[in-house]
């Protein structure tokens, strides 16, 4: 299990390499990137803030839950970025390897979906004329 | 008892600090602490939700806080 939180650009190839496994017939990767607009407003950049200790603990726990649901999982890697990101930057990478492809799709989706619900990381969208903490208000 | 609560994201902006020192009744529950915080910082009521983390896990409303717990206020998360 390879879990990381970093304020440096994510090396996607390195994350992929970390899930290589001789027992795997499939590697599935999700890459989350910074989009140039949100609800019709032009986004200039994103600022990610993390509660590092808890974020790492929760990312580890999500990976463990995935391993319980898909015991055939060979390797799991999750790397999340924090700090200031520009349009197009990679914010998160999830990679899993499994013997067969169907499980790799399911496990990868479960991990990214659950991370978005439980991991204490917050993004602030900066626009040309203001900024908003995403999801903070109804 | 005295508690120290770490603050992040919009909660940090509402309180105006990255940590908050608070005095609460002994054996205060998480629900009681949240009500105390909402009273002291009414802007917290406008959030979609917020949770309290104890020692890096989400705490249930009835958990009784202890003085050496590592506490954080968790506004709606938005990672990924």
Determine the residue among A135, A137, A138 to mutate to test chain B binding: the one whose Cβ has the most chain B Cβ atoms within 10 Å: A135
Is residue B33, in this structure, part of any structural domain at all?
yes
**Tally of domains within chain B:** 1
Query: Is B62 within 8 Å of B29 (Cβ atoms)?
Result: yes
Residues with Cβ within 8 Å of residue B75, at least 6 apart in sequence: A122, A133, A136, B8, B9, B10, B11, B47, B49, B50
Side-chain half-sphere of B3: how many Cα atoms within 13 Å? Answer: 27
pLDDT value at position A40?
87
Residue B44 belongs to domain with CATH number: 3.10.20.30
Is residue B14, in this structure, part of any structural domain at all?
yes
All residues of chain A having their beta carbon less than 8 Å from the beta carbon of residue B6 are: 51
Q: Cα–Cα distances in Å, from B75 out to A31, A131, B62?
A: 25, 17, 19
Q: Cα–Cα distances in Å, from A109 out to A32, A63, A114, B32?
A: 12, 12, 8, 36
pLDDT value at position B15?
97
**Interface predicted TM-score (ipTM):** 0.95
Structural domain range at position B15:
2-74
Q: What average pLDDT does this structure show over B54-79?
A: 97
Query: What is the C-alpha separation between B35 and A67, in angstroms, rounded?
Result: 37
Give the model's confidence band at B47: pLDDT under 50 very low, under 70 low, under 90 confident, else very high.
very high
Nearest by CB to B79, from A53, A121, A133: name it: A121
Is residue B59, in this structure, part of any structural domain at all?
yes
Chain B, nearest residue to A113 by Cα: B80
List all residues of chain B from 25 to 44 with a beta carbon under 8 Å from chain A: none
From first to last of the 138 residues of chain A, give the pLDDT tens digit: 999 999 999 999 999 999 999 999 999 999 999 999 998 899 999 999 999 999 999 999 999 999 999 999 999 999 999 999 999 999 999 999 999 999 999 999 999 999 999 999 999 999 999 999 999 999
pLDDT value at position B4?
96
Nearest by CB to A119, from B6, B48, B79: name it: B79
Is residue B79, in this structure, part of any structural domain at all?
no
Is residue B80, in this structure, part of any structural domain at all?
no
């Amino acid at each position: 299990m390879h879990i990381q939180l970093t304020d440096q650009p994510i090396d996607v190839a390195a994350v992929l390499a970390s899930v290589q496994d001789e027992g795997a017939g499939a590697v599935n990767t999700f890459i989350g990137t910074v989009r140039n607009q949100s609800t019709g407003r032009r986004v200039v950049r994103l600022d990610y803030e993390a509660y590092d200790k808890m974020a790492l603990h929760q990312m580890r726990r999500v990976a463990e839950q995935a391993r319980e649901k898909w015991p055939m999982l060979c390797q799991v890697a999750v790397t999340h970025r924090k700090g200031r990101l520009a349009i197009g930057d990679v914010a998160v990478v999830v990679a899993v390897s499994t013997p067969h492809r169907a499980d790799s799709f399911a496990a990868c989706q479960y991990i990214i979906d659950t991370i978005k619900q439980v991991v204490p990381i917050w993004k602030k969208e900066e626009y040309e004329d203001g900024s908003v903490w995403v999801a903070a208000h109804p | 008892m005295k508690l120290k609560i770490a603050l992040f994201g919009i909660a940090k902006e509402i309180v105006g600090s990255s940590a908050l020192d608070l005095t609460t009744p002994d054996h205060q529950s998480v629900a009681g602490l949240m009500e105390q915080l909402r009273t002291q910082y009414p802007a917290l009521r406008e959030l979609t939700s917020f949770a309290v983390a104890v020692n890096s896990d989400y705490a249930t409303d009835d958990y009784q806080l202890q003085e050496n717990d590592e506490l954080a206020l968790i506004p709606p998360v938005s990672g990924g």
